[in-house]
Amino acid sequence: MTVNFFAISCVILTMALVSCNGNPDEQKNREELDGLDSTTTVSATTALTEENEVAYNLPSALQIAYVFKKSGAGFVPELLNNRSNSSKYNTSNYKRATNFGIYSADLAYCLFNKKYQESKEYLKSCKDIGSYLGLNQAFESDNMAQRFDKNIANEDSVVKIVSSVQLKADMMFEQNKQKHITVIAFAGAWTESMYIATQIYAKDKNKKVLVSLLEQLLLSETIIKALKSYKTSEPEIIDLIISIEKINAEFNAIASVKSAMEKDEEIDLNSISITDSELTTITKSVKTLRSKMID
Amino acid sequence: MKKIVKPLFGISIIFILMAFQSGDVLCNAKELKEKAKLYLEPYKYDSSELTRIMYKKKETIKEVEVPLFIGEKYRIVFELEALPKQVEVQIYNKDKDSKGRKLLFSSKDQGEKKEFLFEVSKTRHVYVDYVVPPTEDGSYSGCAVFMVGYK
C-alpha cells in the first residue's frame, strides 16, 4: 500500500514538473513565432514582451461565397467536388478537415446561387465528413434537417440554419481542443472558393469576378500565419503551407501589388492591372493544390 | 477504507494537474458563445474566437488578427463575463508591431460592461488587442470571446 501511494506521488511530482515546461511542440511553435516577430519594426505599443501572442480568426466559407456571389459570377455545377468522393476522405485528420472545408465551400456556393436541392446534398456531404471529425451533434441538434427541408426555398432562413451549424461546429472544435482542424478546414474552403473563382474568370473574363478573386487571394497571408501556429499538429500542414506560400508569392509578384506593398498602401483591387500570364500562373497553382486535396 | 482513500486522493490530484497541463484555462466556450450570439442579430454569424487569458506580473497583450472583406458591414460582439479582472479591449487597423496604427475602438468607453459591440466596414483587417493588466495578488485566469457577424 505504502509503495502504491509512493508511486502515485512520484507520478504527480513528475507531471507537475513537466507541466512547468508546457508542451514542447507548443513551446517550439511559440519560439519560432517570436523569432518571426523579432524581424519586424519596433512596436508603437508600450507593453510588448515575449509573452504577447497573436491568434488568427478566419472567416467562414459562407461569407466568402456571399461576397463572391455579389460579383455576379454564375453557377457552374461541374466545378464542384463530386459528392460521391466523401467516403474516400476518412483516412487522416488532414484529409477529413480539408475536404470538410471543400464541401462547405461547395455548399455555400450552391446556397447563394439558390440551388437548394444541391445545397441539401452538399450539407449531407458536410455532415458525413463532419461525423468523422466528431461533429455529429452540430448537424443533428435542433431538428436541423427538418428545418432545412421546411425552409428550403427561403434563402435567408436556409443561410441562418447553415450559419447555426457552423457556430455549433466551431464550438465543438473548441471544446474538443481541435482548433487546428478549423484552420485546415478553412484552408480547404478557401482553396475551393479560389478554384471556382479562377475557373469562372478564365471562362467569362468578368472584371467584378476578378476583383472578388483578388480579394480572396488577400486572405492567403493570414491563412499561412494561422497554419504556421499549428504546424506541428498534423504532418501534412508543412506541405500545405508551402503550397499556399507559392500562391501568395505569385500574387505578391504582380507589379501593382508589389508597388502598393512597398509603399505600405491599401491595394485598390478595382484599378489593379494583371496580365493573363500572371493570372494563369495563379490559376494553375490553385488547381494543383485543389487536386492534391480532393484526390 | 484508508486503502481506497489514499489512491483516490492521488488520482484526483493527477486529474487536476492534467487539466492545467500546458497552462490550460478552463472555460465554458459554448455558454460564452451562445451569450455573444444574442447580440449579433440582425447580422449573420461568420466566426468567433475564444482567447484564454492568464494574468501575469506585468502587462501583456493578446492580439487576434481578423481579416475582413472591404466594403462589407461587420459587427463584432465581445463577451467578457468569464474574465475575473477587467481587461481592456482595443481594436486597431494594423497589428501591434506596426508603426502609426490607428485605434478604432477602446472598451474604456464602455465602463464595467461585460458585453459590448463594435461595427466596422471599409477595411480589410482589424486587430483585436486584449490588454491584460498586471496582477500581484495571486494567480488569475479567464476567457474572452468575440463573435463576428456580417450583413
Minimum CA–CA partner of A49 in chain B: B60
As a whole-number percent, the residues of chain A with pLDDT over 90 amount to: 70
> What total number of domains does chain A contain?
1
User: Does B52 fall in a domain?
Assistant: yes
Phi first, then psi: give them for residue A290, nearest 5 degrees.
-65, -40
User: Does A16 fall in a domain?
Assistant: no
pLDDT at B4: 61
pLDDT band at B10 (very low <50, low <70, confident <90, very high): low
Q: In chain A, which among 215-244 make CB contacts under 8 A with chain B? A: 215, 218-219, 222, 225
Rounded to an integer, the average pLDDT of A241-258 is 95
Residue type, B32: L
A38-89 confidence digits (pLDDT tens): 322 223 333 333 455 899 999 999 999 999 999 999 999 999 999 999 999 9
Q: Which residue from A145, A143, A112, A142 is spatially nearest to A126, judged by alpha carbons?
A: A145
pLDDT at A280: 96
User: Does B6 fall in a domain?
Assistant: no
Rounded to an integer, the average pLDDT of B96-104 is 93
Full-model pTM: 0.83
User: Does B43 fall in a domain?
Assistant: yes
A131-145 confidence digits (pLDDT tens): 999 999 999 887 888
Give yes or no for A292 touching B (CB within 8 A): no
Residue A32 has pLDDT above 70, yes or no: no
User: Does B91 fall in a domain?
Assistant: yes
Residue A1 has pLDDT above 80, yes or no: no
Query: Distance between CA atoms of A125 and A82, rounded to whole angstroms?
Result: 10
Question: Across chain B, what does the average pLDDT equal?
Answer: 87
pLDDT at A27: 40
Q: Which domain holds residue A125?
A: 61-294
pLDDT band at B88 (very low <50, low <70, confident <90, very high): very high
Query: Distance between CA atoms of A263 and B33, rounded to whole angstroms?
Result: 39
pLDDT at A261: 85
> How are strands ordered across the β-sheet holding B60-67?
A53-56, B60-67, B125-132, B88-92, B103-106
Which CATH number fits the domain that encloses residue B102? 2.60.120
pLDDT at B139: 79
> What total number of domains does chain B contain?
1
Q: Cβ–Cβ of B67/A166 closer than 8 Å? A: no
User: Does B15 fall in a domain?
Assistant: no
The residue among A38 and A293 whose pLDDT is bigger is A293
User: Does A220 fall in a domain?
Assistant: yes
Q: Which domain holds residue B57?
A: 27-150
Residue A274 has pLDDT above 70, yes or no: yes
User: Does B123 fall in a domain?
Assistant: yes
Residue A21 has pLDDT above 50, yes or no: no
pLDDT band at A266 (very low <50, low <70, confident <90, very high): confident
Query: For the purposes of burial, counting CB atoms within 10 Å of the CB of B122, is it exposed (0-12), middle (13-18) or buried (19 or more)?
Result: exposed
Neighbours of A41 (CB within 10 A): 8
Rounded to an integer, the average pLDDT of A20-49 is 34
Residue whose entry in the numeric block shows the C-alpha cell 515575449: A50
- Residue in A8, A23, A60 nearest the CB of B46: A60
The residue among A104 and B12 whose pLDDT is bigger is A104
B20-71 confidence digits (pLDDT tens): 444 467 789 999 999 999 999 999 999 999 999 999 999 999 999 999 999 8
As a whole-number percent, the residues of chain B with pLDDT over 90 amount to: 70
Q: What is the ipTM of this complex?
A: 0.84
pLDDT band at B14 (very low <50, low <70, confident <90, very high): low
pLDDT at A13: 45
User: Does A13 fall in a domain?
Assistant: no
Residue A2 has pLDDT above 50, yes or no: no
Phi first, then psi: give them for residue A78, nearest 5 degrees.
-65, -20
Give yes or no for B39 touching A (CB within 8 A): no
Question: Across chain A, what does the average pLDDT equal?
Answer: 85
pLDDT band at A10 (very low <50, low <70, confident <90, very high): very low
CB A111 within 8 A of CB A162: yes
Q: Find chain A residues with C-beta within 8 A of B56's C-beta.
A: 51
Cα of B59 to nearest chain A Cα, Å: 6
A144-174 confidence digits (pLDDT tens): 888 998 998 899 999 999 999 999 999 999 8
pLDDT at A84: 94
